Amino acid sequence: MANLNGFNANEVDPNPGFDPIPAGKYVAIIVASEMKPTRKGNGEYLKFEFDILDGQYKGRKVWDQLTIKHPNPLTVDIAQGTLSAICHAVGVMTPNDSAELHNLPLMITVGLEKRSDNGELKNVIKGYSKRDAGSGAVGAAAASGPGSTPPWARK
């Protein structure tokens, strides 16, 4: 049991829940990171929490985790490559702590995948890149529809 100190649901709007954001490119920042043990206890992963900065999905969160320590070297190589992409995107090439990557804008490519436990869609981060100077139209990918390339991302 937990003491709710007189909480009154009549005074608070209910949370409507959140569907995943549409696949696309978004400007975001890392707002939190922490190292956690893997489920099997044979390694560690670095969990990142991102906030979307602008557009229709401003304030929404997405997460990624990189298995930095693991007995499988391929798993570690993939995680280190992804961490390198994040470092290049934010311009911090030799961080001593993951907090050095926080609050620096970068472009994230968000995709959708089905969850293995219930088949519902969830967001996954597919890639990282530098924030484009003309990327003020965050969320344009969502407004244009899934799978479309927003005008500011076209070359």
- Asked whether the beta carbons of 102 and 29 are under 8 A apart, the reply is yes
pTM of the predicted model, to two decimals?
Answer: 0.78
- Asked whether the beta carbons of 105 and 27 are under 8 A apart, the reply is yes
Three-class secondary structure assignment of the chain = CCCCCCCCHHHCCCCCCCCCCCCEEEEEEEEEEEEEECCCCCCEEEEEEEEECCCCCCCCEEEEEEEEECCCHHHHHHHHHHHHHHHHHHCCCCCCCHHHHECCCEEEEEEEEECCCCCCEEEEEEEEECCCCCCCCCCHHHHHCCCCCCHHHCC
- Asked whether the beta carbons of 45 and 134 are under 8 A apart, the reply is no
For 49-70, write each residue's pLDDT tens digit.
999 999 999 999 999 999 999 9
User: Whole-number mean pLDDT of the chain?
Assistant: 87
- Asked whether the beta carbons of 110 and 99 are under 8 A apart, the reply is no
CATH topology for 19-133?
OB fold (Dihydrolipoamide Acetyltransferase, E2P) (2.40.50)
For 118-152, write each residue's pLDDT tens digit.
999 999 999 999 997 655 444 433 333 334 333 33
